[in-house]
Amino acid sequence: MPELRYGDVWSQLLRRVHAELDLEVVAATIVNDGRTLADCDRLMLLMPRRGGWQVVATTGQERFDRRSNVVRAWETFAAVAAPLREPIGFDGTSARQAPEVEAALAHLVDVTGAKQLVFVPLVGESPKLAEHEPKAGQAVDPPSGWLAAERFQGAGSLDDLLRRTELIAGISASAVTHAERYRRLPLRRLGESITRRLERRRLTRTAAFGLGAALIVAALLLIPTELKIEARGTLQPADRRHVFAPAEGIVVALDAKHGQHVEAGRQLLEMKRPELDFELTRVEGELLTQQRRLSSLQAARLRGARTENADSPELLRLTADEEEARQQVVGLKSQQEELQRQRAALKVTAPIGGEILTWDVQRTLEGRPVLKGQQLLTVGDVAGPWELDLTVADEYAGYVRRAERTGEPVEVEFIAASSSGETHRARLSTIAGRSDVDDEGRSTVAMTAASDADVPRDLLRPGTAVTAKVACGSVSVGYAWTLELVHFFRTKVWF
């Protein structure tokens, strides 16, 4: 393992990763500066999130698609390999692993296309200069994260890649641990603000301080207020339908664009399946051939009926051939009708009258291949009622459900991002019975609210971002103000 010396690039990395407490900054420094030191093509940092492992940073990308195949493949592999707490390397000739690790590794290599890859845990404190190995008998902490390095050309040895990545992991482990702990501090910003104020100003009389504190506590406990849970989402027409591809094919004709008004049943686009056209041409050709053969056999049989006996072998053969040709014609016509029905289904029509809500339809669909069941367009009735598509954090959804179970209408106030701050009203319609994970890895619950009819028409644009407050009953002022802190103690301290 290379030595770490004053002034070299390794000591510079050590200083940079320990210079910040912001986890995003620390992670970006590790994967971007560490990639060159690891001599790899891509370096990723994975950390534990909600019972699994999640990619939090990757080389050269400040933002990345968490639903991409590569990110999901690495997170799936981490869920299988992380419990082993051992570095893993692969270059096609590496030692065999456990069956479940082998299966996940094979899928990972297939998705990423990497020739060499290593998976190294972040364990232990930062190494001192020229000291990178743990002392004998020293306890090893659980990994605070994992580093994943990939080479796509296969240049260099796997052992060298593994040693370099392990050194970066040793340098970065404690920095990641400290940044993660700092991120998890409850009400961190509020605490910092209060601390600064208390340092600037000290009360000189204990009695005045005690009396003031008592009055504040009494007010927080006794004064009632409405508990309002924040939710975020968009304004959408209440009646909207998604249009899906009826089969796999290519969009060859598109007669729709964003904001266009369409009537129900109007053709929006037409798809083409080359294999369907080929099969239809083949069936029609065979049908024409069999129809001609049937006509020929019928004519031959009629001529033979005038000159041959009814029981003659030749007449019987002609009759049998005629019946066989007739059955083939019937079967081919059935195939032709089914293929024509399938081709007619490739002309996609509007399910309802309304407006095309999908943005930039020409760029995303025209001339492009689509899969069966793929969502192509969304049509919404902008002239009808509108609703709010909202999501609320999973930990606060219980308050909304409790308010819904009272049987009373649950009032919702919302502000549109494009408005000047004017508040509008809606009423809760539905709340989902299950949670989903959003693009940022947070657990959320979906719900809808019917907007009042007095919302100005200039705000009723599909997809307008809104911030909503859901009224969930009366609580004390203190409880409403410290809801985040109460939730922290319920989930992290009491249970």
> What is the Cα–Cα distance from 333 to 179, expressed in whole angstroms?
71
- Give residue-wise pLDDT tens across range 142-197: 788 999 999 998 678 899 999 999 999 989 998 998 888 888 877 666 665 666 66
In Å, how far from its chain's centre is CA 189? 30
Length of the chain: 495
- Return the pLDDT at 129: 35
> What is the Cα–Cα distance from 466 to 447, expressed in whole angstroms?
13
State the CB neighbour count (10 A cutoff) for residue 377: 23
Map out the domains of the chain with their CATH numbers: 9-183 (3.30.450.40), 240-379 (2.40.50.100), 382-494 (2.40.30)
As a whole number, mean pLDDT of residues 372-390 equals: 91
Token pair 């890649």: residue? 161
Contacts of 481-487 with C-beta under 8 Å, sequence gap 24+, read 481/220, 483/227, 483/396, 484/186, 484/187, 485/186, 485/187, 487/395, 487/396
> What is the Cα–Cα distance from 239 to 106, expressed in whole angstroms?
45
Rounded (10°) angle between helices 313-345 and 274-307: 160
- Give residue-wise pLDDT tens across range 221-267: 778 888 889 999 999 999 999 999 999 999 999 989 988 999 999 99
Token pair 């106030």: residue? 413
pTM: 0.46
> What is the Cα–Cα distance from 94 to 84, expressed in whole angstroms?
17
Listed residue (184, 145, 169, 170) closest to 54, CA to CA: 145
